[in-house]
Amino acid sequence: MTTTETKTPISPVSSTMLDAWTTESDVEREPSNLPDGWEMVIGLEVHAELATDTKMFSPAKNHFGGEPNTNVHPVCLGLPGTLPVVNEKAVELSIKLGLALNCTVQRCIFARKNYFYPDMPKDYQISQYDLPLNAEGWLEVPSGHRVRVERAHMEEDTGKSTHVGESGRIHDAGYSLVDYNRAGVPLLEIVSHPDIRGPEEAKAYVGELQAILIATDVSDGKFEEGSLRVDANVSVRAAGSDELRTRCEIKNVNSLRSLGRAIQYEAQRHVDLYNAGDKPVQETRHWDEEGGRTRPGRSKEQAEDYRYFADPDLVPVDPSPEWIEEIRATIPVLPRERRIALRDAGGEAEPAAIAVERGLDGLALAAIGAGAEPGRTLTHVVNNLAVDGAESLDPAHFAELVTMETGGDLTATQAKQILGEMVESGRSPSDLAAEHGFEAMDSSELETMLDQIIAEHPDEWARFCEGEKKLQGMFTGQIMKATKGQADGKAIAQLLGKKSSS
Amino acid sequence: MSVPSTATEIAAAVSSGSVSASDVVESHLAAIDARESEIHAFNTVTADQARATAADIDARVAAGESVGPLAGVPVALKDNMCTNGIATTCSSKILEGWEPPYDATVVERLREAGAVIVGKTNLDEFAMGSSTENSAFGPSRNPLDTSKVPGGSSGGSAAAVAAGFAPLSIGSDTGGSIRQPAALCGVVGMKPTYGAVSRYGLIAFASSLDQIGPFAKNVTDAATMFEVIAGHDPRDSTSIPEPAADVHTKLNAGVEGLRVGVITELMGEGQLQGFEPEVIAQTRAAADALAAAGATVGEVSVPSVIYGLSAYYQIAPAEASSNLARYDGVRYGHRAPGGANTAAMMKASRTAGFGAEVKRRIMLGTYALSAGYYDAFYGKAQRVRTLIIDELAAAYQNFDVLLSPTSPCVAFPIGAVSDPLTMYLNDTCTIPSNLAGHPAISVPFGTGAGDLPVGVQILAPLQGEAVMFQAAAALEAAAPGGQS
């Protein structure tokens, strides 16, 4: 078997930087949301529909929506005599994601997963079993925690059944309708190791994966259209132990919010069972969004035996090292590297993550590069800029604004106001500040103003000097009122401190 | 000019305008009318379409067009090849009435070559059998003796050629389903290298073993048809990327200096029993005839072929159990009424739609793939397959082609073999080529018990069709009765 080493980090971040930034011991993990002594063990299986023009093995269109059974072809309908042919674009996108998840891309084979279901035209699903395309990688969530990815393999989607009857449930349906438009749509199943310890971490993992899928154009990553689907394997154990207890697979989770709720519910259910001297059974459970609980799936008399075997209609896919490198070259800078770049430029972790999430990290980096102070830059990017319109902002102007503010030429309030006007007008901050007559007040001017206020409020001043700190707000407010909000809050605080202790 | 009997002659005559395609078709439809009720070679005779195609060909010839290497040649198709708008049944109730919305690649290629499709031939249900008795529509009969089976599973296609219903027909060969009926009906039948002919549109039995090939009255016609249907097809991932071998250039080159190895284990003297002495005698005579024609003949041992049958009856049913899952009554074919829910409907449809042999193999295959049994059955069978491939490769170090009987016996009476395991033994000599993916051909060579024909098999290595046909042509020329 040929395997290809693909652990090289992706430009433009150097490997030293990556290593320095990803020491697990630095990472703040989500605190346990379970009663004392318990921790969650969560592994996620994410299915992402690939953004191809055609299906995984069929020339039919891969297109969401459309009249039922219009995006079909004899191959994806599994008509007798038809044969699957691998969609090269699907392989390319799968490799791209594998590389983005730091996986080893390897020679792989397709296997048949055999089970009877009406929305599966062949009554087997072509998937991958013992030799997946992408093996053993990792994904780092914004906190810095690395979740190991066991595999990311290719498979085909099923159709959709609609059960027509009184309740809309399969058990008492009068009849069923099947739409095969989705049957055969290419899927990538990304399976994590059970490295996730809580609902927030699970949401962060899926959010990060979604961001990578979208950034790489591998998938549109839409929960609402089902192009991103998550199943969670949940178990609990004594905090800090290595054991893996009985897990339940939670399906029907349709949003990040549901994912967090479902995990929390299920883990607590396990804890309650153990505490009652009972234990969970390994099973598939469905998340009931309205009821806020998980319920057992259809009962199975025995464990599923999918009778996997290599699909004899298909030949192994053995991507050449050259092809892998070509694909690697198309990977954009990923969210994690963008966060690292911002951190490296002096940003704090949390605002850096938000800036990347908002897609404004490029602007922030450019401004910092032009000399703006990172903290104030990120504050504006996170709090004071709308994503729409921010792309029109000239980074040099933005940097100038931040520098004016940190240099004391503008107060925070003035800077915020000017920033809004810069986005609208495209004009420079110095221009706008001059037009408004904004100038930083020098401290003597501010002191004169404060003296007058002290004279008007002698009792309050005396109490403030005796330590009634809540009065600081009153004095600040008075100065702000007098200056129509143009005074610098930090300067006022300094002045109040100096004056009250003298 | 009267209608000639071989495909090569018909194509030449139609292309030159000396015989019309319409006359060719009418004479063959007349032959079908005369004997079909007795033989039951066909599930469907497409007389109207055949007449229309023939008229079209005649018009093209009249317009000076070149029609193709099979101009006006009637061809019968095994009823597991999909034909657009024409019922394709696999001789199973579960597909009764189903009309594919597309043509198999072989059907497209035959049409492009000017062939005239005259009908869909009977087979053992889903190609599972060696006698065509497993058809849901009743058995076919051997045209040489209608009390006997024509062999199977492509019994209808073999019978159609033997009865003169069509000079050429198409079969599929998973464990011998072309070669064994060819032997029993006294015609030429050939299984190409796996991947030489596209399987797109062939309804799968066992995907890693299935291969489409020709039946013909003689080796030359078989070679012509092979060249028409072979070649890369992007719709079949297992299709060989290179162009098909040219098998005509060396067809009449003789066997001077060719090294021919007789497979020891398949000559009835070792562990494998049940070979009729007359069959063995004719096979030896065939080897002697090739030696007399200048070949170097020797014996070669391929020890693992004795396990071929056992390995085959793990691998083929395993793949079949998965391939035949789709016949569930949901989308097409037979749906049993009154199921309380979808699962019950599927179960009832499959119970009613499949015959006993198909059910037997689905159960065997499901078992072979089950968790805990996979390694002991399917896994082990795949290792035997590898052993056979290795041993055959070693044999081809010293020999250009190998020789064996095609079938251990001549055609047997309808209803005579009721034990499935005894029936399976028919495939002993043909299975190794399927497991290895190698080409092999059955050539009639004399007769055995009851004056029924004996077939001798020539095996060749991967993509060795040219040397295989070369040896086959020499064997045919040397056969008793001197066909040429």
Chain A residue whose CA is closest to B368: A307
Residue B286 is assigned to a structural domain of this protein: no
pLDDT digits (tens, 9 = 90+) for A219-261: 999 999 999 999 999 999 999 999 999 999 999 899 999 999 9
Where do we find the tokens 């009613």? B352
Residues of chain A contacting residue B235, judged by C-beta atoms under 8 Å apart: 83, 85
Candidate from A99-103, A176-180, B255-259, B473-477 with smallest mean pLDDT: A176-180
Give the pLDDT of residue A16. Answer: 37
CB neighbours (10 Å) of residue B389? 17
Chain A window 97-126: which residues touch B at a Cβ cutoff of 8 Å? 112, 114, 116, 118, 121-124
DSSP annotation of A171? G
Percent of chain A predicted with pLDDT > 90:
66
Give the pLDDT of residue B63. Answer: 96
- Using CB atoms within 10 Å of the CB of residue A370, give its burial: 0 to 12 exposed, 13 to 18 middle, 19+ buried: middle
- Contact status of B79 with chain A (Cβ, < 8 Å): no
pLDDT at A10 over 50: no
- Residue B120 contacts residue B79 (beta carbons within 8 Å): yes
- Contact status of A474 with chain B (Cβ, < 8 Å): no
Query: How many structural domains are present in chain B?
Result: 1
Q: Label residue A173 by pLDDT band (50, 70, 90).
A: low
Percent of chain A predicted with pLDDT > 70:
91
DSSP-derived 3-state class of residue A289: coil
**Which of A123, A161, A298, A311 to mutate to test binding with chain B, by most B CBs within 10 Å of its CB?**
A123
Residue B17 is assigned to a structural domain of this protein: yes
Q: Which of B319, B321, B341 sits opposite A312 (nearest CB)?
A: B319
Judged by CB atoms closer than 8 Å, whether chains meet at B206 and A85 is answered as no
- Contact status of A82 with chain B (Cβ, < 8 Å): yes
Chain A residue whose CA is closest to B369: A307
Q: What is the mean pLDDT of residues A91-113?
A: 98
Q: Which residues contact B378 (CB under 8 A, 6 or more apart)?
A: A309, B314, B315, B318, B368, B369
Residues of chain A contacting residue B331, judged by C-beta atoms under 8 Å apart: 77-78, 121
Judged by CB atoms closer than 8 Å, whether chains meet at B81 and A81 is answered as yes
pLDDT at A20 over 60: no
In chain A, domain spans: 37-249+300-328, 335-436, 443-501
- Contact status of A412 with chain B (Cβ, < 8 Å): no
Q: Which of A419-423, B110-114, B336-340, B416-420 is the most confident on average?
A: B110-114
Q: What is the mean pLDDT of residues B122-138?
A: 98
Residue B63 is assigned to a structural domain of this protein: yes
DSSP string, A9-36: PPTTS-HHHHHHH--GGGPPPPPP-SST
Q: Which of B201, B321, B342 sits opposite A81 (nearest CB)?
A: B201
Give the pLDDT of residue A15. Answer: 36
Judged by CB atoms closer than 8 Å, whether chains meet at B208 and A312 is answered as yes
CA A100 from centroid of its chain's CA atoms:
14
Judged by CB atoms closer than 8 Å, whether chains meet at B322 and A121 is answered as no
Chain B residue whose CA is closest to A80: B203
State the CATH architecture for A443-501: Orthogonal Bundle (1.10)
pLDDT at B462 over 50: yes
B276 or A496, which is more confident = B276
Sheet of strand B168-173: strand arrangement: B42-45, B116-121, B74-78, B168-173, B211-216, B188-191, B440-447, B453-459, B401-405, B259-263, B296-300
Residues of chain B contacting residue A122, judged by C-beta atoms under 8 Å apart: 325-326
Q: Which of A302, A315, A249, A303 is nearest to A111 (CA)?
A: A315
Give the pLDDT of residue B336. Answer: 92
Rounded to 5 degrees, φ, ψ at B336 are -75, 140
Q: What is the mean pLDDT of residues A191-196?
A: 97
- Contact status of B75 with chain A (Cβ, < 8 Å): no
When the pLDDT of each residue in chain B is averaged and rounded to a whole number, the result is: 96
- Contact status of A81 with chain B (Cβ, < 8 Å): yes
Q: Where are the alpha helices (DSSP H) in A216-316?
A: 256-275
Taking the CA atoms of B449, B454, B459 and B463 in sequence, report the sign of the dihedral they define: negative
pLDDT digits (tens, 9 = 90+) for A376-435: 999 999 999 988 888 889 999 999 999 999 888 888 888 999 999 999 898 999 889 888
Q: Which long-range contacts (CB under 8 A, 24 or more apart) does A495-499 make?
A: A495/A443, A495/A446, A495/A447, A495/A450, A496/A450, A496/A464, A496/A472, A499/A447, A499/A450, A499/A454
Q: Which residues contact B154 (CB under 8 A, 6 or more apart)?
A: B78, B121, B123, B127, B132, B169, B171, B172, B173, B177, B178, B181, B189, B215
The tally of CA atoms less than 13 A away on the side-chain side of residue B444 is: 25
pLDDT at A288 over 80: yes
pLDDT digits (tens, 9 = 90+) for A351-378: 999 999 888 999 999 999 999 999 999 9
* Euclidean distance between CA atoms A352 and A354, whole angstroms: 5
Chain A residue whose CA is closest to B104: A81
ipTM of the complex: 0.96
B36: containing domain: 7-229
pLDDT digits (tens, 9 = 90+) for A440-458: 566 677 888 888 888 889 8
Backbone φ/ψ region at B90: left (φ over 0), alpha (ψ -120 to 50), beta: left
Q: Label residue A325 by pLDDT band (50, 70, 90).
A: very high
Q: Spell out the SS3 assignment of chain B.
A: CCCCCCHHHHHHHHHHCCCCHHHHHHHHHHHHHHHHHHHCCEEEECHHHHHHHHHHHHHHHHCCCCCCCCCCCEEEEECCECECCECCCCCCHHHCCCCCCCCCHHHHHHHHCCCEEEEEECCCHHHCCCCCCCCCCCCCCECCECCECCCCCCHHHHHHHHCCCCCEEEEEECCCCCHHHHHHHCCEEEECCCCCECCCCECCCCCCCCEEEEEECCHHHHHHHHHHHECCCCCCCCCCCCCCCCCCCCCCCCCCCCEEEEEHHHCCCCCCCCCCHHHHHHHHHHHHHHHHCCCEEEEECCHHHHHHHHHHHHHHHHHHHHHHHHCCCCCCCCCCCCCCCHHHHHHHHHHHHCCHHHHHHHHHHHHHHCCCCCHHHHHHHHHHHHHHHHHHHHHHHHCCEEEEECCCCCCCECCCCCCHHHHHHHHCCCHHHHHHCCCEEEEEEEECHHHCEEEEEEECCCCCHHHHHHHHHHHHHHCCCCCC
- Contact status of B102 with chain A (Cβ, < 8 Å): yes
Residues of chain A contacting residue B366, judged by C-beta atoms under 8 Å apart: 307
- Contact status of B362 with chain A (Cβ, < 8 Å): no
Q: Label residue A497 by pLDDT band (50, 70, 90).
A: confident
- The structure tokens listed for B212 are 């489409």
Angle of helix A489-501 versus helix A458-465 axis, rounded to 10: 80
Where do we find the tokens 């690697």? A328
Angle of helix B277-292 versus helix B465-478 axis, rounded to 10: 100
Judged by CB atoms closer than 8 Å, whether chains meet at A312 and B98 is answered as no
Q: What is the mean pLDDT of residues A212-223?
A: 95
Judged by CB atoms closer than 8 Å, whether chains meet at A116 and B328 is answered as yes
Judged by CB atoms closer than 8 Å, whether chains meet at A85 and B81 is answered as no
- Residue A59 contacts residue A71 (beta carbons within 8 Å): no
- Contact status of A314 with chain B (Cβ, < 8 Å): yes
Q: Which residues contact B353 (CB under 8 A, 6 or more apart)?
A: B92, B93, B94, B327, B329, B333, B334, B336
Interface contacts A/B by beta carbons within 8 Å: 102
Judged by CB atoms closer than 8 Å, whether chains meet at B321 and A176 is answered as no
**Which of B86, B322, B358 to mutate to test binding with chain A, by most A CBs within 10 Å of its CB?**
B322
Give the pLDDT of residue A25. Answer: 54
Candidate from B172-186, B205-219, B330-344, B466-480 with smallest mean pLDDT: B330-344
- Contact status of B418 with chain A (Cβ, < 8 Å): no
Residue B137 is assigned to a structural domain of this protein: yes
The tally of CA atoms less than 13 A away on the side-chain side of residue A34 is: 25
**Which of B330, B335, B345 to mutate to test binding with chain A, by most A CBs within 10 Å of its CB?**
B330
Distance from CA of B271 to the nearest CA of A (A): 31
Cα dist from A112 to A41, A160, B89, B140, whole Å: 30, 20, 25, 35
Give the pLDDT of residue A12. Answer: 35
Distance from CA of A314 to the nearest CA of B (A): 6
What residues of B are annotated to the active site? Answer: 78, 153, 177
Give the pLDDT of residue A441. Answer: 62
Q: Which of A86, A176, A307 sits opposite B370 (nearest CB)?
A: A307
| CA dihedral angle for residue B304, residue B305, residue B309, residue B310, rounded to 10 degrees | 0
- Contact status of A86 with chain B (Cβ, < 8 Å): yes
Judged by CB atoms closer than 8 Å, whether chains meet at A74 and B101 is answered as yes
Candidate from A62-66, A205-209, A495-499, B80-84 with smallest mean pLDDT: A495-499
* Euclidean distance between CA atoms A97 and A219, whole angstroms: 9
Q: What is the mean pLDDT of residues B259-265?
A: 97
CATH number, position B72: 3.90.1300.10
pTM equals 0.89
Distance from CA of A267 to the nearest CA of B (A): 30
B49 or A166, which is more confident = B49
- Contact status of A69 with chain B (Cβ, < 8 Å): no
pLDDT digits (tens, 9 = 90+) for B335-383: 998 778 888 999 999 999 999 999 999 999 999 999 889 989 999 999 9
Give the pLDDT of residue A21. Answer: 40
Residue B259 is assigned to a structural domain of this protein: no
When the pLDDT of each residue in chain A is averaged and rounded to a whole number, the result is: 88
- Residue A118 contacts residue A150 (beta carbons within 8 Å): no
Residues of chain A contacting residue B330, judged by C-beta atoms under 8 Å apart: 118, 178
A388 or B246, which is more confident = B246
Cα dist from A362 to A22, A341, A349, A357, whole Å: 22, 10, 16, 11
* Euclidean distance between CA atoms A450 and A442, whole angstroms: 13
